[in-house]
Amino acid sequence: MRFLRLYVTYISIFLRTRRENPFTFYAGVFANFYSYFVTYTLLWAITKSFGSIDGWNIADITILLGLNVLAYSISGVLFSYAVYQIDNEIISGNLDSYLVRPMGILQQMASMSFVVDAFLGPIAVTVIFMAGAFCQISYHMTVYSYMYLAAAIVSGILIQSGTMIVLGSLSFWSVRPQKIASIIFGEMHMLTNLPLSIFPEFIRRCFTYVVPWAIVNYYPSLIILRKVETNEEFVVGLLSPLMGVCFFVFSLYIFNLGLERYAGSGSQ
Amino acid sequence: MDGLIRAEGLSRSYRVPKHGGGLLKRLFSAEFETIFAVRDITFSIEEGEAVGFIGPGGAGKSTIIKMLLGILTPSAGSVTVMGNDPVRNRRDNAYKIGVVFGHRSQLWWDLRVCDSFKLLKRIYKIPDGVYRENLEYAKEFLDMGSLWDEPVRELRPGLRMLAETAAAIVHGPKLLILDEPVLETDIPAKRRICEFTKTLNRERGTTIIMAAQEMKVVMEVCRRVMLMDLGSIVLDSSVAAFKQRFGGKHSIRVDLDAPLPEFTLDGVLSSHRFGGLTWDFKINQDRITIGRLIDEISKRAEIARVTVEEGRIEDIIHEIYIDGLNDELYEDD
Ligand SMILES: Nc1ncnc2c1ncn2[C@@H]1O[C@H](COP(=O)(O)OP(=O)(O)O)[C@@H](O)[C@H]1O
Ligand SMILES: [Mg+2]
């Protein structure tokens, strides 16, 4: 648990730095709080005016969106540095400085990122809206549903983190990840805020098996909100926590392949 | 014992796009050639040594260091560091190695100096007592009290290197590796880093490996020197012997107020530029002193400026090659 201790130390240093400059901190948190607040409100308004989207009411949609934002924000806190900076670190040769230390590169990079405040806003909004939504949903949540919810959140974080790690790894093959990241986390990400059932078959397959983001929020929502209809939905839903772990391990494997390639080709 | 570091037939090559040909040709034919950054070198380093790699830029010094650190895989040959394969045991070895890279930073750019140390303490799992002791030791020698609370990004290069050096030893490494540690460093900081490294070697028995283009620094810190050129070690000798063999040679540059025609002196090689306004002299100190030379010139012309340099690395390498050639000729007889 060396990483946890490092991270706690890092966060305390980070918060102290921000206290010295509180305006930056609150401005950062507020700007992002605001933008996600707008997202939730917009979705809320749409759902309200249509009554529901394909059978999903306001509370359902909020949970669907919330799982997504939570996974994205927490992964972002940990791994956005890896996605957006690693190519610079490789080009400048600074990656060597990480490699001479006795700790994993990704763990070190997690405690380099100075964007914690950018993700605190969305996390705060989400917690508020989701708590509201869980009070509204019409049936009783059991201990098992809460356990499943926790597992689903962790798995969502693992999948989003895995996606970020794979994107960051592209840098080892001289592909700049930023552009791809902005497509993936921008437009594509928006789609998964809506129930997958409203999309054509092809897109549904794509988000389930290719870019497995429906596993982050859609399938878990089906299970929690008791909307499962087909066997496939049930199986994918139940297995989604496991898939999160698998995808994360896969992403670490890709990253290590990249590192090997780096040691093989060298930096100037 | 097996030695702290053992390299045998170690090589590292790179495939680089072939030079020459037009841009179009290079784009489409994608011809590569293999260049050797390090070629078939063998050496070993014992615990407690202070060893310097010197050589002109591109000689292969950094390449060797990267292979010792396990961040670059050799293309041929073998190397062990503390009995381990450095690539396979990179992280285990890292606990016992400290690294100073002159042109990279080990510190957290956006944080204060002290914060980087707190983070390093976690990364290396340094016990409180050890951490405090090493920090005091470094702080005392490097005199970094004043920069302790400064943000890293605002430090002058010289001061930053002091902090980098301290950061490299907080975990109490057995082996300290410095690659061009005094590249942009001012003289006081340079002196402190040299002094600290020497003391570390003497008092704690820390093995020192230093690579630099600047000979003087290496000569000051190390007791053994390996001279590299084009990926090979052309000379491996004690610093004392090295100084004896090459130390007496100086190159002297003299700028004059008025041009001076060609002249000759015993024990002096000269060349001039700008129609005789700037002269470069190489002298053999057994035959003539610098004072005598200056004296002779001032009899002939008004001197504007005199610069004295120790023998340049390139000249030493040149001399070694010439000597080698002579030896071969001699053997042929
Ligand atoms: N990643 C790389 N790709 C291609 N050539 C490289 C690479 N790294 C180093 N080289 C070449 O290897 C040689 C040795 O480099 P280096 O070890 O950095 O020399 P030094 O540290 O002695 O200045 C140089 O000719 C350099 O251009
Ligand atoms: Mg170098």
Taking the domains of chain A in order of start, what are their residue ranges? 2-267
Final residue before a domain boundary, out of B245, B273, B292: B245
The pLDDT of residue B223 is above 90: yes
Inter-chain touch B118–A17, beta carbons under 8 Å: no
User: Structural domain tally of chain B?
Assistant: 2
The pLDDT of residue B13 is above 60: yes
The residue of A10, A14, A90, A101 whose CB has the most chain B CBs within 10 angstroms, and thus the best one to mutate to test that interface, is: A101
Who wins on pLDDT, A210 or B88? B88
- Is B288 a member of any domain? yes
Overall average pLDDT of the B133-154 stretch: 89
* Average of per-residue pLDDT values in chain A: 88
The structure tokens listed for B152 are 């890293």
CB B117 within 8 A of CB B170: yes
DSSP class per residue in B24-60: HHHHHH--EEEEEEEEEEEEEE-TT-EEEEE-STTSS
The residue of A9, A20, A90, A100 whose CB has the most chain B CBs within 10 angstroms, and thus the best one to mutate to test that interface, is: A100
The residue segments making up the domain with residue B263 are: 248-310
Closest approach atom of ligand 1 to CA B66: 17
Q: Which residue of B has its CA nearest to A112?
A: B108
Inter-chain touch A5–B124, beta carbons under 8 Å: no
Residue B41: what pLDDT?
Answer: 96
- Is B174 a member of any domain? yes
Overall average pLDDT of the A235-256 stretch: 93
Do B227 and B240 lie in one domain? The reply is yes
User: CA–CA separation, B107 vs B162, rounded Å?
Assistant: 11
pLDDT-derived band at B30 (thresholds 50, 70, 90) equals: low
Report pTM: 0.85
Residue nearest to atom 26 of ligand 1 (CA): B58
Nearest C-alpha neighbor of A99 from the set B166, B90, B88: B90
Do B209 and B146 lie in one domain? The reply is yes
Contacts of B71 in chain A (CB under 8 A): 96, 99-100, 262-263
pLDDT-derived band at B333 (thresholds 50, 70, 90) equals: very low
List residues near ligand 1 (CB under 6 A): A 266-268; B 14, 16, 37, 55, 57-63
User: CA–CA separation, B25 vs B18, rounded Å?
Assistant: 10
Do B98 and B234 lie in one domain? The reply is yes
- Is B24 a member of any domain? no
Residue B49: what pLDDT?
Answer: 97
Question: Number of C-alpha atoms within 13 angstroms, CB side, residue A130?
Answer: 20
Inter-chain touch B71–A93, beta carbons under 8 Å: no
pLDDT-derived band at B248 (thresholds 50, 70, 90) equals: low
pLDDT tens digit sequence for B69-111: 999 999 999 999 999 999 999 999 999 999 999 988 889 988 9
In which element (H, E) is residue B10 found?
A: strand B5-17
User: CA–CA separation, A146 vs A153, rounded Å?
Assistant: 10
DSSP class per residue in A44-89: HHHHHHHS-BTTB-HHHHHHHHHHHHHHHHHHHHHHHHHHHHHHHH
How far apart are the CA of B53 and the centre of ligand 1, in A? 15
User: CA–CA separation, B122 vs A209, rounded Å?
Assistant: 39
| 3 state SS of A25 | helix
Long-range pairs, A197-206, Cβ under 8 A, ≥24 = A197/A54, A197/A55, A198/A53, A198/A54
- Is B32 a member of any domain? no
The pLDDT of residue A264 is above 80: yes
Residue B58: what pLDDT?
Answer: 92
The pLDDT of residue B332 is above 60: no
Overall average pLDDT of the B290-312 stretch: 85
CB B47 within 8 A of CB B207: yes
Do B210 and B260 lie in one domain? The reply is no
Q: List Cβ neighbours of B208 (8 Å cut-off, separation of 6 or more).
A: B49, B50, B51, B175, B176, B178, B197, B200, B201, B221, B222
User: CA–CA separation, B258 vs B141, rounded Å?
Assistant: 49
pLDDT-derived band at A55 (thresholds 50, 70, 90) equals: confident
Do B100 and B156 lie in one domain? The reply is yes
pLDDT-derived band at B123 (thresholds 50, 70, 90) equals: very high
pLDDT tens digit sequence for B191-206: 999 999 999 999 999 9
The pLDDT of residue B247 is above 90: no
Final residue before a domain boundary, out of B245, B264, B294: B245
Do B125 and B255 lie in one domain? The reply is no
Overall average pLDDT of the A148-167 stretch: 93
Residue A187, exposed/middle/buried by CB under 10 A (0-12, 13-18, 19+)?
exposed
Who wins on pLDDT, B316 or A199? A199
Inter-chain touch A9–B122, beta carbons under 8 Å: yes
User: CA–CA separation, A46 vs A58, rounded Å?
Assistant: 9
Q: Which of A5-19, A132-146, B22-36 has the lowest mean pLDDT?
A: B22-36
Do B283 and B184 lie in one domain? The reply is no
Report how far apart, in Å, the C-alpha atoms of B284 and of each of B64, B75, B113, B239, B281 are: 34, 42, 48, 20, 10
- Is B58 a member of any domain? yes
User: CA–CA separation, A47 vs B74, rounded Å?
Assistant: 61
The pLDDT of residue A150 is above 70: yes
Who wins on pLDDT, B58 or A23? B58
CB B77 within 8 A of CB B87: no
For residue B12, the 8-state DSSP code is: E
Nearest C-alpha neighbor of B167 from the set B208, B113, B96: B113
The structure tokens listed for B308 are 């004295």
Please report which residue ranges of chain B form alpha helices under DSSP H: 23-29, 61-69, 90-94, 113-123, 128-142, 157-169, 187-204, 215-221, 239-246, 290-300, 313-332
Do B102 and B173 lie in one domain? The reply is yes
pLDDT tens digit sequence for A75-99: 998 998 888 889 999 988 889 999 9
Q: Which of A171-185, B100-114, B267-281 has the lowest mean pLDDT?
A: B267-281
Q: What is the share, in percent, of chain B residues with pLDDT greater than 90?
A: 55
- Is B20 a member of any domain? no
* Average of per-residue pLDDT values in chain B: 88
Which range, A121-125, B142-146, B315-319, has the best average confidence (pLDDT)? A121-125
Q: List Cβ neighbours of B100 (8 Å cut-off, separation of 6 or more).
A: B106, B161, B164, B165, B168, B176, B177, B178, B179, B181
For residue B18, the 8-state DSSP code is: P
Contacts of A6 in chain B (CB under 8 A): 119, 122-123
Q: List Cβ neighbours of B220 (8 Å cut-off, separation of 6 or more).
A: B194, B198
Contacts of B124 in chain A (CB under 8 A): 101-102
pLDDT-derived band at B2 (thresholds 50, 70, 90) equals: low
Domain containing residue B71: CATH number: 3.40.50.300
- Is B165 a member of any domain? yes
Residue with tokens 């030493």: B316
Amino acid (1-letter code) at residue B209: I
Overall average pLDDT of the B50-71 stretch: 95
Do B137 and B281 lie in one domain? The reply is no
Final residue before a domain boundary, out of B218, B245, B272: B245
